[in-house]
Amino acid sequence: MISWTTPTLPVHVRNADLVSSGCHVAVTIAQDCHSVTVEDPPMEYDSETGTTTLYVGLAQAQSGGLCAGPAKVQVNARDWMGFRPASDQATTYIGSNLLREVI
Provide the whole-model pTM.
0.92
Chain segment 54-103, per-residue pLDDT in tens? 999 999 999 999 999 999 999 999 998 899 999 999 999 999 999 999 99
Query: Domain-by-domain residue ranges, the chain?
Result: 8-92
The verdict on domain 8-92 having CATH code 2.40.10 is no
∠ CA 31-34-36, rounded to 5°: 95
**Residues contacting 29, CB < 8 A, separation 6+:** 9, 35, 36, 37, 56, 58, 66, 71, 72, 73, 92
Chain segment 39-55, per-residue pLDDT in tens? 999 999 999 999 999 99
